[in-house]
Structure 1
Amino acid sequence: MSTPRDLMIVALDVAPSRPLGRGDLSLALAGAEAYDLLRTGTLRLRGDRLAPLTPPGPEDGLLAEAAAALVREEPYEPLPDWLWRRGRGLSSAYLAALEAEGQVTWERSRWLPFRGGRTVLSDTEARRRAAYRWAADEPVLLALAAAVGIREELTPADPAVTDDTALTVLAAVHDAVMELEAVRQRRALEAAAFANVWRGA
């Protein structure tokens, strides 16, 4: 089971509740990687820092890349810094991996957020597994999806994440997505102000 792969497949398979940004999804994918690496004992949290351990590496290629990218010198890397560093372009990397594996094909006639064509998911075991986790309301997958707008915000009726480590990762993802949105809004205001100045010149 790979949470980031399942999240990527769900992002391609489910109509989002709001426009889905690559940056938001990349941050959530980096959080999903951190969650899987913590769950498998590849690293542990020391406060908010990611402390690598030395178990066998993950079988999934992108998770193995994530494990190899961990900072191995103390005081180790804070989780928020990891999300921004590892998350850079990560949605494109997962999309390319799915395409290389034959999980995704492209229809070039319509627009989607990721490329000039429309993604078509193949009927594979990976897609069925992701759909099963999604239909089963798996709490971490639901929370990551809600953070980036694949689904509405969670309600008290939704299954709750109870593991403290997972909650730490999810909180960091949520904060990073909010920070990214604040940057977008600031840039939009700056662009609007510049346009007003230009028109008034």
Structure 2
Amino acid sequence: MTTAKDLFIIAMDPQPDRSVGQGDLSLALAGAELIDLIGAQVVTLDGDSIVPGGPAAPDDRQLGEASEALTRQVPYERVEDWLWRRGRDLASAYQSALEAEGQLTRGRSGRSIFGSERLELVDSPARRQARHRWEADEPVLAALAAVVGVQSAPSEEEPELDDEAVTTVLAIVNDAVMELEAVRQRRSIEKAAFANVWRAP
């Protein structure tokens, strides 16, 4: 399993007190893919630019698609641009992939971040692995989950990340999610203002 799939599973686990937005999750999934590509030495970072390495093909299909989507000519793509480009509808793509793998089933009731029809996680080795990483407070998964609003139990120790490239990606993911929230708020204000104009006598 990849960090992105583990993140998706953690975001899908039923928690009545939280709601994960598809846009936020899509950006975080793109960041998770990039972190796994860095870990596999498929890419490196030069500042905030993504520099492709060798033509290594990850075993995971979604991660392989991410690798194929890399910009391989100079000027290389910046992490922020990658998040917005790769992240477009990425949560839905992961939903479809996990459904095809039998990791998700459609429930009869309740609601989901993906619409009115409830999606339920199957009790599988993949889900247990994701939960194990989560309960172990694995720093990268915990940081990505926190960005999209999924909080783990408070830890006595601050998570330590000794990889500068990973730290850079996490910071840019956080900034992108904040930017998306700012856009949402601006649109909400604009809609309210427009509605008030039409209500005015």
Shorter-chain TM-score tier = over 0.9
Give the aligned partner of residue 115 of structure 1.
Answer: 115
Q: How far apart are residue 162 of structure 1 and its match? A: 2.6
Q: Name the counterpart of 1:28.
A: 28
Contact 2:144–2:170, Cα closer than 8 Å, also in 1:
yes
> What SS does the corresponding residue of 2:112 show, helix, strand or coil?
coil
Q: Distance in 2 between matches of 1:29 and 1:197?
A: 39
CA distance in 1, matches of 2:173, 2:37: 15
Map 1:66-145 onto structure 2 (within 5 A): 66-145=66-145
Between the aligned partners of 2:114 and 2:26, the Cα distance in structure 1 is 12
Q: Quick one: distance in 2 between partners of 1:156 and 1:164? A: 23
Deviation of residue 16 (structure 1)? Answer: 7.0
Task: Evaluate the alpha carbon distance shift between residue 153 and residue 55 of structure 1 in structure 2; reply closer, same or farther with a 3 A threshold.
Answer: farther
Residue in 2 aligned with 1:160? Answer: 160
* Residue identity matched to 1:83: L
Sequence identity, in percent?
Answer: 56
- The amino acid that maps onto 2:178 is M
What SS is found at the alignment partner of 2:119?
strand
The Cα of 1:75 is off from its aligned counterpart by: 1.5
Residues 32 and 153 of structure 1: CA distance in aligned 2, closer, same or farther (over 3 Å) = farther
Q: Which residue is equivalent to 2:59?
A: 59
Match of 1:13 in 2: 13
Provide the rounded CA distance (Å) in 2 between the counterparts of 1:51 and 1:154: 36
With 91-100 and 5-14 compared, the bigger mean Cα shift is at 5-14
Cα distance in 2 for partners of 1:89, 1:7 equals: 15
Q: Tell me if structure 2 keeps the 8 A contact 1:3–1:33.
A: yes
Matched residue of 2:151: which SS?
Answer: coil
- Please tell me the root mean square deviation across aligned C-alpha atoms, in Å: 1.7
Deviations 1:95-152 (A, max 9, x none): 1100000001011322111122222111111111101100100000000000010116
Q: Quick check: 71-80 or 9-18, which moved more?
A: 9-18
The total of aligned residue pairs comes to 201
TM-score (norm: length of structure 1):
0.94
Residue 33 of structure 1: CA displacement? 0.2
CA contact (8 A) 1:41 1:53 kept: yes
- In the TM superposition, residue 53 of structure 1 has moved relative to its aligned partner by 1.0
Q: Deviation at 1:153? A: 10
Contact 2:142 2:152 in 1 (8 A): no
Aligned equivalents of 1:186, 1:154: Cα separation in 2: 32
Q: Is the 8 Å Cα contact of residues 16 and 151 (structure 1) preserved in structure 2?
A: no
Q: TM-score, normalised by structure 2?
A: 0.94
Mapped partners of 2:16, 2:42: distance in 1:
32
* Distance in structure 2 (CA, Å) of the matches to 1:23 and 1:82: 14
Q: Structure 1 pair 16/43, CA: closer, same or farther in 2 (3 Å)?
A: farther
Instruction: Point out where structure 1 has 5 or more consecutive residues left out of the alignment.
Output: none
Match of 2:151 in 1: 151
Q: Structure 1 residues 59 and 73 mapped into 2: Cα distance closer, same or farther (>3 Å)?
A: same
Give the conservation status (yes or no) of the 8 Å contact 1:17–1:150.
no
Q: Indicate the residue corresponding to 1:191 in structure 2.
A: 191
